[in-house]
Amino acid sequence: MNNAIPNHHMAWASQPNQLPPSLSGPLSSVSGFQPDNPSGSSNPRFAIGLDLGTTFSGGTVKASKPGFRHTPYYWIEGNAEAGSADAFGPGPKAPTRLALYPPSQGASEPHRWGYQVSDDEESFRWFKLGLVHEDELHEDLQGATELDEARALRSQHKAKVSELVEIYMRKLWGHTVQQIASQHHMTGDQVVQAEIHVVLGVPANWKSGTRLSLLKAARAAGIPGQHPLSTVETYIEPEAATIALVEHGAVPADLTSGDIITICDCGGGKSDAISFEIQPTQPFVLDGCVPAEARFCGSVQLESLFMQRLKSKIQALADPDKAATLSFRDIRPLFHRLWELGIKRQFDGSSRDWSEVIPDYLLRNGNRRITRRSANRTAAATVTFTGSEAGELFDLTIRKIIGLVGDQVRAVWEKKKRLPKFVIVCGGFSQNLYLRTKLAEEIDSLNAEYKHKHPSGTIRREVAEPLYVEQAVSTGCAMQAFEHHIEKFEIQPGPSVRIASRIAGSSYGIATQQGFRQFVTQGDSLPVAQPKFIELQLPDFVLVSGWGELTSVSLVIVRGQATQLVPSARGRESAK
């Protein structure tokens, strides 16, 4: 019996440098699709996925128009101007940064965002991480230079994190509405008055309070528009990335029933890992294997390490009085040239050296007489990072990502007694050549470790293609919005891949006067079907403040998340 998974949605995978038809850019460039509805009988509905990233943000849209059997997913382009001098724009994302005050030369628009803010300009960044309470931040982020600098700037300008998130999301939303209006020959007012369903990606380890803060900021920013049926909700980022990558062919087509895939989403501030088992059904069904895990290891931490090292190198060459007052803000332009345009994008583990001339204003204060120390310097002092030094800095972050992948694979083995068939890496940081090299070494090491335990199983590594890797989260979120709110009303098919169950990342229970009673244990499989009520019988009865006497309680499961307890009728009556 052939248990191979039907691969109609993977047929294009043999062409790795070609976008799948459903992700092939703006609507006007998609063969066979006409932006206008010829009948004009009804307004379109929109399913939108938004990915507010730590360093870059983006969106994906699917329009549902009566009379059209197939409409593609398409990306919201970054806000770089056409012909921009930005080295990496325009692209499918915009930098997550804000300048809330005019630049020195003057500007009429005080709220500039994305590519409107230059890399070397003082600006608000990393405010997404500010939504997480400092007590809940992972130890990897404690004392990070970039976060300390971001907090100091917010304090200086008396800017609240919630306000920054709201302003940025308002800008991103307005940009999204403009692009939708342009693609569909509508006005902006017509777009926001249409039925829109928005799904926001959130990290796997975000608690409910942090998610609510993001939703509150989104609604304050005008999301999801004005239609009474429009909705906005959240979805776990690694799951969104998984369904997008599987749906659009990033997963190789030779999967069979029972195979396991592990997805690692490497972003700017954190990396997520999640694993699913393949079920041979239509639509394509994925069952959770082990709890998703997130670690704060990404370009934010790497940039912090590099910034600290760069500052130390300059201070060693500067006059003592200048060295004592040198700030990270002072060295940001040099940091941009050396790091952003050089090492970050191009380092591959080779022995190449990286050098830049140090501006004189970083070495001594103005109008100061040249000292013996400065006279001993060359006319053009330089700062250099050797290949081994760059590798040392990269390793501090990449080792954590490699450890995340290794721990996820071992967790899969402990539960299933077999290895994942594929480890698939996505996210902006996944395109780093050095990370790819180290990940390949880790996969080889894991295969050797489990060879005697699982001789027939070998892990294979896949890196999602850069053409669409950065939009996996927003595309998966748009797929969720379409499936849950639009598909059932339309003739066009919805996503052919769905997640059936999620592994509980925490334990759930109820505190009573008789003690704590646990109902869900970390690692339990929870159905994603919504809503799901699990009836829990309690021995005799328990007393719960505000509920009275309970003999049973229902645990509400929404999309695989235990959300709340519902008391029995007796409990509600006793609580009156």
479 plus 523 within the same structural domain: no
Q: With contact defined as beta carbons under 8 Å apart, do 269 and 54 qualify?
A: yes
- In-domain check, residue 369: no
Sign of CA dihedral 369, 372, 378, 383: negative
More confident position, 461 or 197 = 197
- In-domain check, residue 188: yes
* pLDDT computed for residue 40 by the predictor: 41
137 plus 95 within the same structural domain: yes
- In-domain check, residue 533: yes
- In-domain check, residue 151: yes
Q: Which of 501, 524, 558 is the last residue of a domain?
A: 501
Strand (E) or helix (H) holding 98: strand 97-99
Look up residue 410 and give its amino acid: R
- In-domain check, residue 86: yes
Tokens of 418: 């077999």
Cα-atom radius of gyration of the chain, to the nearest Å?
A: 26
Q: Is residue 20 classed as helix, strand or coil in its secondary structure?
A: coil
- What is the β-pairing status of strands 112-113 and 97-99? antiparallel
134 plus 184 within the same structural domain: yes
- Span of 98-112, 159-173, 249-263, 349-363 with lowest mean pLDDT: 98-112
In DSSP terms, which residues pair with 224 in a beta bridge?
Answer: none
Strand (E) or helix (H) holding 410: helix 387-416
The whole-angstrom separation of Cα 394 and Cα 309 is: 12
pLDDT digits 0-9 by tens, 319-340: 988 988 888 878 988 988 898 7
Is pLDDT above 90 for 258?
Answer: no
- Span of 91-95, 179-183, 500-504 with lowest mean pLDDT: 500-504
Q: What are phi and psi of 62, to 5 degrees?
A: -130, 125
In DSSP terms, which residues pair with 554 in a beta bridge?
Answer: 535, 566
* pLDDT computed for residue 283 by the predictor: 60
Average pLDDT, rounded, for the chain: 76
* pLDDT computed for residue 20 by the predictor: 29
Is pLDDT above 80 for 5?
Answer: no
DSSP H helical segments within 270-386, as ranges? 299-317, 320-325, 328-335, 344-346, 372-375
More confident position, 514 or 95 = 95
* pLDDT computed for residue 470 by the predictor: 74
Which residue, among 23, 427, 57, 25, has the nearest Cα to 218 in the 3D structure? 57
pLDDT digits 0-9 by tens, 152-178: 889 998 999 999 999 999 999 999 999
480 plus 567 within the same structural domain: no
Q: Which of 501, 524, 557 is the last residue of a domain?
A: 501
The whole-angstrom separation of Cα 443 and Cα 430 is: 15
Q: Find the mean pLDDT for residues 221-241.
A: 92
CATH code assigned at 161: 3.30.420.40
CA angle, corner 472, sides to 476 and 458, nearest 5?
105
- In-domain check, residue 127: yes
The whole-angstrom separation of Cα 154 and Cα 143 is: 16
The whole-angstrom separation of Cα 302 and Cα 320 is: 28
Q: Which of 485, 501, 517 is the last residue of a domain?
A: 501
Percent over 70 (pLDDT), the chain: 66
* pLDDT computed for residue 13 by the predictor: 24
Q: How confident is the model at residue 372 (pLDDT cuts 50, 70, 90)?
A: very low
In DSSP terms, which residues pair with 234 in a beta bridge?
Answer: 200
More confident position, 368 or 249 = 249
DSSP state of 136: G
Sign of CA dihedral 506, 511, 516, 518: negative
Q: How confident is the model at residue 252 (pLDDT cuts 50, 70, 90)?
A: low
Q: Is residue 453 classed as helix, strand or coil in its secondary structure?
A: coil
The whole-angstrom separation of Cα 298 and Cα 203 is: 13
CA angle, corner 101, sides to 96 and 103, nearest 5?
95
Q: Where are the beta strands (DSSP E) in 215-353?
A: 231-236, 260-266, 271-279, 284-288, 293-295
Q: With contact defined as beta carbons under 8 Å apart, do 572 and 544 qualify?
A: no
Look up residue 246 and give its amino acid: V
Q: With contact defined as beta carbons under 8 Å apart, do 508 and 524 qualify?
A: no
Distances (CA, A) of 496 to 200, 252, 253, 529: 21, 16, 14, 16
Is pLDDT above 50 for 393?
Answer: yes
565 plus 477 within the same structural domain: no
The whole-angstrom separation of Cα 333 and Cα 400 is: 29
Tokens of 254: 């030779």
* pLDDT computed for residue 108 by the predictor: 53
Q: With contact defined as beta carbons under 8 Å apart, do 210 and 244 qualify?
A: no
51 plus 142 within the same structural domain: yes
558 plus 477 within the same structural domain: no
- Span of 248-257, 297-306, 393-402, 545-554 with lowest mean pLDDT: 545-554
525 plus 487 within the same structural domain: no
* pLDDT computed for residue 354 by the predictor: 92
Tokens of 235: 């979805």
The whole-angstrom separation of Cα 381 and Cα 373 is: 12
Say how far residue 99 (Cα) sits from the centre of its chain: 22
- In-domain check, residue 177: yes
Domain with 494, as residue range(s), is: 19-240+470-501
142 plus 96 within the same structural domain: yes
- Span of 47-61, 96-110, 255-269 with lowest mean pLDDT: 96-110
* pLDDT computed for residue 204 by the predictor: 79
Sign of CA dihedral 458, 459, 461, 462: positive
Is pLDDT above 50 for 224?
Answer: yes
pLDDT digits 0-9 by tens, 44-93: 899 999 999 988 899 999 888 765 555 677 777 766 654 443 433 446 78
Look up residue 383 and give its amino acid: V
- Span of 3-7, 248-252, 299-303 with lowest mean pLDDT: 3-7
pLDDT digits 0-9 by tens, 282-312: 567 888 898 888 887 887 778 888 988 999 9
pLDDT digits 0-9 by tens, 423-481: 888 887 887 889 988 999 999 999 988 888 876 667 877 665 544 567 889 999 999 99
- In-domain check, residue 571: yes
Is pLDDT above 90 for 197?
Answer: yes
* pLDDT computed for residue 555 by the predictor: 64
Output the pTM of the full model: 0.74
User: How many domains are contained in the chain?
Assistant: 2
* pLDDT computed for residue 98 by the predictor: 93
Is pLDDT above 90 for 499?
Answer: no
Sign of CA dihedral 352, 357, 361, 367: positive
